[in-house]
Amino acid sequence: QVQLVESGGGLVQAGGSLRLSCATSGRNVNGYTMGWFRQVPGKDREFVAKIHWTSGTLAYAEAVKGRFTMSRDNAKNTVYLQMNSLKPDDTGVYYCAASFRWAAATSKDYNYWGQGTQVTVSS
């Protein structure tokens, strides 16, 4: 089993920045794909970014390219999502997730989830 705990959410004005953290524990996540998703009420969870823990390969949703940066710290078993130039449309609950497969594309492809952290961007 893999346990994931997100932190770092909050309220920020448009144009501001936040850094989300996702601490992992339990099974070693070497070889896993770690992803960030977000969700607003009434909508499905939306892919934001992912990183392959071993290779460091990254992928981003078009909506966040150039503004968000995902990274990992092997020593701390933690992944991060640096969010800059935030917009009101970035508002939502942000979830950290882990998948056995790099090809994981939707929330259904991920095996483990954190509890989520709220991000609210005011205009």
* pLDDT (tens digit per residue) in 47-88: 999 999 999 999 999 999 999 999 999 999 999 999 999 999
Q: Contact at 8 Å (CB) between 78 and 22?
A: yes
CA distances from 63 to 45, 85, 91, 119, 122 (A): 14, 12, 13, 16, 18
Percentage of residues in the chain having pLDDT higher than 70 = 100
Alpha carbons 95 and 9: distance in angstroms, whole number:
11
Residue 18 in tokens: 């936040």
Predicted pLDDT of residue 89: 97
Q: Is the pLDDT of residue 105 over 90?
A: no
Q: Which residues pair with 5 in a beta bridge?
A: 23
| Residue range 109-118, pLDDT digits in tens | 999 999 999 9
Predicted pLDDT of residue 104: 85
Q: Contact at 8 Å (CB) between 20 and 117?
A: yes
Mean predicted confidence (pLDDT) in 22-44: 95
